[in-house]
Amino acid sequence: MNKRVAVIRGGRSKERDISLKTGKAVYEALETEGVDVIALDPEEENFYQQLTTEEIDVAFIALHGRYGEDGTIQGLFEMMDIPYTGSGVLASSLAMDKIISKKLFQQEGVLTPEFKVISRNNWDQQAEKLLTELKIELDLPVVVKPALEGSSLGLSIIKKRENLATAVDTAFEYDNEVLVEKYIAGKEITIGILGNQDLSVLPIIEIKPKTGAYDFEAKYTKGMTEFVIPAQLEEEIYNQAQKIANKAYRVLKCSGMARADLIVSKEGKPYVLEVNTIPGMTETSLLPQAAQAAGIDFPELVLEILEYAVK
């Protein structure tokens, strides 16, 4: 690629360390391919000055979480007329907000687990009333998580009613809205998607955490999770899961790349949990693993994502 590329990594979210790893892997892959590449961090004091003086042709966004995955940095690049990887402002914002995205899935016929939303203000004023309503409307177990965080930060799986209040309080440490979602027992899978208009749905990965919950520790501790690719699903269910992931991608108006996380229930129904518009991009991350299974090596994947940005 005959363009000057800036890898944007680091940032100020709680996922900064993960972002630095993604950025390092992307930078090294581009350097190996002979691309003119620099690395920039939005937390550096001269970040904006560097954007204006480095004559950047395209930005590879390797930021996870707030300010990088929620449409914020995308808006800056739109204003500066700098092409960038991944989804645009609207899609990034929609996908980052688990509550809004689930409401859109429901409206568009994309199967997603039943859920309730709690705001911090209502919780502070009437916690006991809300707990009673939750216990009536959603059978245990439930999944409790903040609306706007990634990497399973603040997530709890609750099987006992007496633990529900603590889980909600924990989730409020990360955001002002909390999602309480019906727990679907089954196989956890993830599906990578590449493209803008003509989409490539990658082989499905089955996620098998040894603790039973794919939380922050299971995601980022070596040996805590087994990944099976392709996922061990009946052909009809496998195809259905890919189709529903494709639809979720289009409903949110994603572009470039994304990774949809789903649960396949014991009855064989695929439920969409969320869509990640900037998934991890080290060579051992899930999207690159799926691409590798499709015959796309890591440097080739990075270059392909850049091409979607330029288009």
Q: Would you name the residues annotated as active-site residues?
A: 15, 151, 285
Contact of 277 with 87, CB cutoff 8 Å: yes
163 is in an annotated binding site: no
> Residue 271 and residue 151: Cα distance in Å, rounded?
19
Contact of 280 with 63, CB cutoff 8 Å: no
Tell me the HSE value of 180 on the side-chain side, using a 13 A CA sphere. Answer: 29
**What is each CA distance from 131 to 48, 122, 181, 223, in whole angstroms?**
46, 11, 13, 36
Contact of 309 with 256, CB cutoff 8 Å: yes
> Residue 130 and residue 59: Cα distance in Å, rounded?
44
Q: Please state the three-class secondary structure of 209-240 as a single string.
A: ECCCCCCHHHHHCCCCEEEECCCCCCHHHHHH
189: which strand partners? 206, 262
> Residue 37 and residue 28: Cα distance in Å, rounded?
9
Phi/psi at 82 (5° precision): -110, 115
Q: State the first-to-last Cα distance of the chain, in angstroms, to the nearest integer.
A: 13
Q: Is 183 helix (H, G, I), strand (E, B) or coil?
A: coil
276 is in an annotated binding site: yes
Q: Give the distance from CA 66 to its chain's centroid.
A: 11
The position carrying tokens 């859920």 is 115
The position carrying tokens 């690049």 is 77
> Residue 197 and residue 290: Cα distance in Å, rounded?
20
36 is in an annotated binding site: no
Binding annotation for Mg(2+): 261, 274, 276
Question: Which positions make up the binding site?
Answer: 261, 274, 276
